[in-house]
Amino acid sequence: MKRKMIGAAAAYMTGLFFASFFNGIGTLLILAAASVIFLAAGRYSGYRKNDYIIISLFFCSAVLISTVYTYAVYRPVAAHDGKTGSFEGVVTDIRRYDGEHASYVLKGHIDGDKAAKVSYYSADADVGYGDTIRLSGCEFSAPEGDYAYNSRGDLRSRHIFLRVDRAETAEVIHRDSRSIRAGIMGYRERMISEFRIALGADAGDFLAGMVFGEKQGLDDDVKTSLYRCGIGHVLAVSGLHVSVIALALIWLLRKLRVNKYASFAMVTVLLAVITVMADSPVSAIRAAIMVEIMYSARLFRRQNDTFNSLAAAVLLICLADPYVIYSSGFLMSVAGTFGIGVFGTYMAELIPDKGYLTSFLSKLTGAFCAMLCIMPLSMKYFDETSLISPVTNVIIVPFCSVCMITGVVYVFTGGSIDLLGFAGAVIQMLFTISDKLARISATYFTASSERVVAFSFFCAAAVILVQAVFRSRLYTGAAASLSCSLIFLFSALNGRMLYDTFTVAVLGSGNNAAVVVSFKGNTDVIDISGSYRSPMYVKKYLSRNNIGNIRDLVLMEDIQSQYSAYKGELEFVSTEEWLVSGETEVLGGGPVSCYGSEGMISCEGYDIFFSDDRLVISYGDTDITFEKPSDVTGEENGLVVCYGRKSEDPERAENVIYLGNKEAEDMNNFEIMPESGGGYRLRRL
C-alpha cells in the first residue's frame, strides 16, 4: 500500500510537470528518457504489473486534468489580454507598499460574466479583506515574466491570470465583513503592527515572517543575508513552523491529560488557524496535512512514516489544484521535506552509534541531504544556494524556533504573555551573525548561467537513477558527492569562459537602461536613464554572475535618488569609485566624484565615454552606442541601442535596437558580445 501511494503521488506530480512545462518533440524525448528510468527503477524495486498500471493511470490522469483545466479555465480568462472591460470582485489579498500604494487580488467577474481572479495596483484606498472593488474601463493584460522578477509562474500558481493596468473609475464598497477569515486577517495585521512597534521595523518584520510568513516589509539586504546563510526558510510558514507549534501543543495536552480525541480535534483547529493566519501558503497546507496524517495514524494505531505522509499530502494538493506545480514554494517545500525526512533518514543509517554524537551527526546529515535536494530549485528560482545551510540549520535554526514560539504565544494570548523583548535580542544576534556570514563568498554558490541550473537537474536525476538501480546508501552518497563536485566544476568552467569574454549587459524595464560592462575581472556600471527600478536589475545581474566588486559606478540621471537606491540595493557589492554627472555633491555620500558634462573610463582592452544623453563603449573594432531615438542619424558605426520614449516609429536600421518595443528583437535585458571584425552577437537574459 505504501509503495502504491508513493508511486501514485510521484506519477501524478510528474504528469502535471510534463503537461505544464513541456511541449513539442522535446516532450517526447524527455518522456522517453523518463520512461527508461522508470522501467529500470521498477525492475530493481520489484514492481509488479498492477504497480505499472496504477502509476501509468495516475500519470495520464494528471496530463489530462491539467490540459482540460488549461483549456476550460485558464485560456478563456487569458483571452481578455489586451481587451478593455469592467470588473467587480472581492478583495482576497492585500500587499501594501511605500508611497501609499497597494496591490489587491480581486476575485469576481469580468463584464459581470466570466469568473476570474485579477491583480490590481493602485493608490492605497483603505480597503480591507472582504470589501468589494468595482472597476470600469479596465485595461486587462496577462502577467509577463521579467528579468528582475518572473511573476508569471507565481501568479499562475495562485490562479491569477490577468492584471488590471488602468481603470477609468474605481469604486470601493466596504462590506464590514464579519467572516471568520476577515476577522483572522484583521487580527493578523494588528499583531504584525505590534511586533514592529515593540521590536523595530526589521526585527518586527522578521518575527512576523516566522509567525505569519509575512516577509514583504523585511529589508532586502536582511533577506539576502538570511538566504545566503541557509535559514531564509524560517520566513515562510512551512513544516518547521507547523511541526514545532503542533508538537508544543501536543506536549502540553499530554501533560494536562486531555482525552486523545479531544486533543486531535484541538490540534486540527490550531493547524487550520495557523494556516489561515499565514494566508494559506501551500507549504503550510502541505505541512498541516502531513501532521494530521501522522497524528491520526498514531491515534488509530496505523503505521505511517514521513515518505508515505509526504506522498499523500502531495497527491491531495495536486488533485485539488493542477496549477500548484507552478509554485516554487510548493516544489521547494516538497524537496526540502523529502531531503530531511526521507533521504536524510535513509543516509543516516551509515552513521555508527556513538551516543550523543550520533544524534548530532544524524541532524547534520538530514540538513545536508535537504540542501542537496533543494539546490537545483534554489539556483533556478533564487540564482544561488547556501553552502553552509547544513551547519546553520542545526545550530542557528533552534534559536529561530524559540523566537517563533514566543511570537506565537504572544499572538494566541493577545499579548498577555509578552516575551518579545527576549525574542528581539535573539533576532538582533541572528542579524549580526547572518550579515557577517553572508559577506563571505565561500558560504554560498551562485548559478552563473541557465546551463549550470540545467546541469544540476541532470545530476539530480542521475543520483535518483543510481539509487533506483543499485539501492545502496554508499553508492547513492558517492553519486551525490560526485554530482556536487561536477556542478561546481561546470560552474567554474562556465565562469572562466565568461571571464575572458567582453560583455555589455543592457538591463532595465521597458525603454530604461542601465549598462554593465564586464571583462577579465573588471566591472563597470553606467546608469543612463535614471529609472528607480534599474538598481534591482543590476543587483540581480551581479548576483547571477557572482560579481562582488564594481570598479566604477556612473550615474547620469536623477543623481541623488539613484545614488540612494544603488547604495541600498548593492549592500553586498563593493564599489571602488562613484562618478556622477554635474557639479553638485551627493548628500549622504562617501567618496563621490562629479565629472561635469562628460567623462571617460579607460581599462585594458576597452574605453567608455559618456556625456549628457550619450554613452559609447569601444572594444577592438566595435563601438556600442547608447542614445535617445531623436539623436539617431542612421550613420553611426557599430551597434546603436536607443533608450527612452520615441515620439513616432522611426525608420528601422539593421544596427539599431530600440528598447521597450514589443518585437522580440527589441526587448530589454540582454547581453552584447562583440566579435572579431566589428560584429557582435546578442544573448537574451
Q: What percent of the chain is predicted at pLDDT more than 90?
A: 14
Cα angle, residue 548 at apex, residues 547 and 550 outer, rounded to 5°: 90
Is residue 35 very low, low, confident or very high in pLDDT (cuts 50, 70, 90)? low
Residue 41 has pLDDT above 60, yes or no: no
User: What's the grid cell of residue 286?
Assistant: 502541505
pLDDT, position 664: 44
Is residue 665 very low, low, confident or very high in pLDDT (cuts 50, 70, 90)? very low
What's the start-to-end Cα distance of the chain, in Å? Answer: 46
Residue 627 has pLDDT above 60, yes or no: yes
Cα angle, residue 102 at apex, residues 544 and 138 outer, rounded to 5°: 100
pLDDT, position 301: 66
Render the burial of 68-105: b for 16+ CB within 10 Å, e for the rest.
ebeeebbeebbebeeeebbbbbbbbbbeeeeeeebebb
Q: Report the run of H or E that residue 103 belongs to, with start and end.
A: strand 101-110
3-state SS string for 286-315: HHHHHHHHHHHHHHCCCCCCHHHHHHHHHH
pLDDT, position 516: 94
Q: What percent of the chain is predicted at pLDDT more than 70?
A: 88
At residue 161, what are phi and psi to the nearest 5 degrees? -105, -5
User: What's the grid cell of residue 416?
Assistant: 498577555
Window from 28-42, 296-310, 467-481, 505-519 with minimum mean pLDDT: 28-42
pLDDT, position 659: 82
Model pLDDT for residues 526-563, shown as the tens digit of each residue: 999 888 889 999 998 998 888 889 999 999 988 888 89
Q: Report the run of H or E that residue 114 belongs to, with start and end.
A: strand 114-123
pLDDT, position 30: 59
User: What's the grid cell of residue 306?
Assistant: 514521513
Tell me the C-alpha distance between 494 and 64, whole Å. Answer: 39
Residue 48 has pLDDT above 80, yes or no: no
Window from 4-8, 26-30, 274-278 with minimum mean pLDDT: 26-30
Instruction: Summarize the confidence of residues 470-493 as an average pLDDT.
Output: 88
User: What's the grid cell of residue 310?
Assistant: 509526504
Ranges of beta strands (E only) in 556-644 are 574-580, 592-594, 598-603, 606-611, 614-619, 622-627, 639-642
Residue 98 has pLDDT above 90, yes or no: no
Residue 594 has pLDDT above 50, yes or no: yes
Cβ contacts of 106-109, under 8 Å, gap ≥ 24: 106/133, 108/132
Window from 160-164, 358-362, 412-416 with minimum mean pLDDT: 358-362
Q: What is the mean pLDDT of the chain?
A: 83
Model pLDDT for residues 432-446, shown as the tens digit of each residue: 999 898 888 888 888
CB 188 within 8 A of CB 253: no
Handedness of CA 341, 345, 347, 352 (dihedral sign): positive
